[in-house]
A and B are shown apart, each in its own frame.
Chain A
Amino acid sequence: MTTKVLAIDDSRTIRNLLRVSLEGAGFEYHSACDGVEGVEQFAEVEPDVVITDINMPNMDGFGVIDNLRSGPNRTTVPIIVLTTESGPDLKARAREAGATGWIVKPFDDASLVSVLRRLTGHVV
């Protein structure tokens, strides 16, 4: 069974890069361009893992995590935060909010796939 990924990022470039990496690694790729759309897509796509950017218009990454962890969706699906900041503050904040893991941009394919594999058990 393929693993479904929902990527939420306002940058088209990042979405493109994620798509190429993830589809290449055998994931089923879905995407959304902001938090609000991401939450909508979540209900529709029912992904196995969510990757979300932090800084986004309409609803930011923390909003997404909050919504997915305690909103009507209330899920324990792994949520991976995509961030350019690698400081401990952000990680702690993300963890506190309910994120499962994080990936620091710029990411390389191997690290990305490795994290997803670790958090979803996806077999490449």
Chain B
Amino acid sequence: MSNSSIRDTFFEECEELLEALVEGLAAMEENASDMEVVNAVFRAVHSIKGGAGAFALDRLVNFAHTFETVMDKVRSKQLAVNEELMLLFHRSGDQLADLVEAARDEREPNAESEAAILKELSAYLGDVESEEEIAFDAAPLAFDAAPLALDIGEHDPPTGTELRRFDIRFCPTPALYANGHEPLLLFDALAELGPLSVTADLSRLPEFDRFDPEDAVINWRLTLLTSEDETVLHEVFEFVDALCDLEIAVSDEPVVAVDEPPLDSRASQGLPAPTDRAALAEPKAQEDTTPPPSAKTATASAPRDEPRGPRPTLRVDLDRVDRLINTVGELIINQAMISQRIEELELPAVAHLTNELEAYKLLARDIQEGVMAIRAQPVKPLFQRMSRIVREAAEVTGKKVKLVTVGDSTEVDKTVIERLADPLTHMVRNAVDHGLERPEKRAELGKDTTGAIRLSASHRSGSVFIEIADDGAGLNRARILEKAIEKGLVSPEAELSEQEVDNLLFLPGFSTAAEVSNLSGRGVGMDVVKNAVAALGGRVSITSSPGAGTTFTIVLPLTLAVMDGFVISIADQTMVIPIASIIETIRPNPRDLHCIGTDGEVISVRGAYVPIVDVARNLGLSSERADSSGVLLLVSTEGQGLTALRVGAIHDQRQVVIKSLESNYGAIAGVSAATILGDGKIALILDPDELVKLTPAAIFLPPASPPRPELRHA
């Protein structure tokens, strides 16, 4: 394993640790007296510090150290957690994340916020601690105590190069042996310093039958001739200090003057110097200093790396997974083709073949689901990122906000998670900025002064639901309408339902904040959010009730690769419409069809008049008004509620593999993607919401100018 890949794993591990940190801090918020939780937080910071030290990431080490020291005070109950400290911990966690990121990308972190937080953290440490802090700062990377404990024969010789004689009396206690020390090895270490003679004093050796193998009965007398300083000798005995009686006496007279060149200059830098001086060691290390090999050695010595992590995982290049997903997509298409071909043969009912074909189809689906699951990841890291957004937004707006997350183990496709980050950030910011009232206002209303934002994820009927709910004032519909009229987005005469008013928020260029705030006035509107979600094949909707809050719901397909659709014909083309969007299919009875004006047509469905949209006309595939034949698909669109889509016929219901149109061409209004049918031909997948908007009858949209497809530049 190369150094750079160790470094990479360090940063990967940091991600996990930071995640654990955020999680731990959230748990501390609930119960700061749970020592398990405090310990986990401490450990996360501590581990980051430990790893960072190995890569000489001083700033990271320094910050983590300060953070950890304050956390340690909480752990040892010297410091009680209050709201203020909790907030500081959150900010420290954010700062730590920034420092990790900066270290990873090898760029300068934001020194200002770092210094500010360090200062606040240090304020929690007493004077003694801050002194230690300074000492730590001064040489954060020196292998501080290490040379004391470790270096043997690596020190500058005392001023001269003369040998001096040390007489050592070494009387081990039983604890020395119990702690795993072996006197012979200590003697070896001494022998590296110079000629050593060892005498065992067996006077305390008991009679054989009174021998206690755990007692320490042998005392040793040693004589060492060395040019080293006495402190070096003490260092050899550092580990056994307090486990033995040790007397070191030096005879002042130089024994012999030797002509030894100064040691390698590296030694003075604390780096290892060659230690090949002849050791006149006696006794020599014995074989029995290492336990005899046991019968189990053979099996035990098989390499066993990280045999039991939290859960065994496999790191795979994402490209490989995507290639696999593509291939499985092809498999599904191939399966559809075979089914179709066999059907075309019009074989006599051969039950076996049908059963096997069905089995093939199920297998292909299983494989496909399995492969998609590889890409699925819990939304937790995404949600955790939002806690930071909430904190920052709360700070800027001076509001008190609590983030509650629900269902963060819900798994969603990796791409969805990545592409959801920006829209979600925006929505969460909006919720804090516009959704929640100021604390004074909340107090006035008798609400908890701390507002709540609830972020939840769940799987429901083949879709992923993500909700962002606040317990704020709810949408100010009068204001929204006023604004929309002002901006010419809706005619002053228009009569809009509450839902339609709410949906005005999604129109391009809409901004509700009466005064542009620091936070949301960034030129990003909800239309951007909507487009981002739509690009993932999902949709956003709003519900709001005055005084109780607003909820945004994002509904996404479970996988981005396949969906269930009806194969339909439009004009003379074959197309696909997602089954999920269809409420029911209607074969209209001419009695129920009514004309409105010259162009409008409605159908009465259980007493309600539902507008009919002719798909072929909206797509510009037919200019004629369709006759009343065909099938109507009842869909619920966010723009105009219930709508009936007129299509030629429904041929089939099947699972289709979604192929992007945008990768080689661009977006096409009313079409979300394409798929490849059993005959190898391409069929377009319709997007009912967009399709409906293309109608000139759409209520509040400016006359639809056919959008120009946009080509992606290479």
Contacts and interface: CB of A to CB of B under 8 A. Distances in A.
Interface stretch (B102-110, B139-147, B472-480, B556-564): B139-147
A17 B550 CA distance: 51
A46 B178 contact: no
**Which of A15, A19, A118: most chain B CB closer than 10 A?**
A118
A44 B300 CA distance: 6
B6 A78 contact: no
Contact of A46 (B53, B188, B296): B296
A78 B240 CA distance: 12
B54 A103 contact: no
B289 A120 contact: yes
Contacts of B239: 95, 100-102, 119
Nearest to A54: B46
Interface in B38-52: 40, 42-43, 46-47, 49-51
A33 B309 CA distance: 7
Contact of B149 (A15, A69, A115, A121): A115
A48 B290 contact: yes
B632 to A, nearest CB: 59
A14 B306 CA distance: 12
Nearest to B140: A106
Contact of B242 (A16, A76, A92, A112): A92
Contact of B46 (A79, A84, A111, A121): A84
Given A33-B309, A84-B46, A118-B189, A108 B181 contact: no
B283 to A, nearest CB: 12
B179 A86 contact: no
Interface in B163-200: 175, 177-182, 184-186, 188-189
Contact of B147 (A28, A111, A119): A111
B185 A118 contact: yes
Contacts of A114: 150-152, 272
A103 B306 contact: no
B180 A79 contact: yes
Given A28-B301, A106-B54, A101 B149 contact: yes
B6 A20 contact: yes
A100 B180 contact: yes
Contacts of A100: 179-181, 239
Contacts of B141: 106
Given A33-B308, A33-B309, A101-B239, A110 B272 contact: yes
A59 interface: no
Given A56-B43, A108-B146, A14 B50 contact: yes
B144 A104 contact: yes
Interface string A87-108: 0000010010011111111111
Nearest to B57: A106
B308 A12 contact: no
Given A45-B300, A76-B178, A121-B185, A13 B151 contact: no
Given A16-B6, A46-B300, A106 B53 contact: yes
B280 to A, nearest CB: 17
A91 B478 CA distance: 70
Contacts of B179: 69, 76, 79, 95, 98-100
A17 B6 contact: yes
A19 to B, nearest CB: 7
B53 A103 contact: no
A41 interface: yes
Contact of A95 (B1, B53, B242, B304): B242
B707 interface: no
Interface string B45-67: 01101110110100000000000
Given A110-B271, A121-B185, A13 B6 contact: yes
Contacts of A14: 47, 50-51, 54
B291 interface: yes
B40 A57 contact: yes
B189 A48 contact: no
Nearest to B46: A55
Contact of A103 (B49, B146, B182, B241): B146
Contacts of A33: 306, 308-309
Highest count of chain A CB atoms <10 Å: which of B56, B186, B290, B308: B290
Given A78-B180, A84-B53, A10 B145 contact: no
Interface of B: 1, 3, 6, 9-10, 12-13, 40, 42-43, 46-47, 49-51, 53-54, 56, 141, 143-147, 149-152, 175, 177-182, 184-186, 188-189, 239, 241-243, 271-272, 285, 289-291, 293-294, 296-297, 300-301, 304-309
22 contacts: A1-B290, A10-B43, A11-B51, A14-B51, A15-B306, A16-B10, A20-B3, A30-B304, A46-B294, A75-B180, A86-B146, A100-B179, A100-B180, A100-B181, A106-B56, A107-B54, A111-B149, A118-B152, A118-B186, A118-B189, A121-B182, A121-B289
Interface of A: 1, 3-4, 10-17, 19-20, 28, 30-33, 37, 41, 44-46, 48, 53, 55-57, 69, 75-79, 84, 86, 92, 95, 98-108, 110-112, 114-115, 118-121
Q: Which 9 A-B pairs have the closest CB atoms?
A: A86-B145, A106-B53, A110-B272, A13-B51, A78-B180, A100-B180, A111-B150, A13-B10, A101-B239
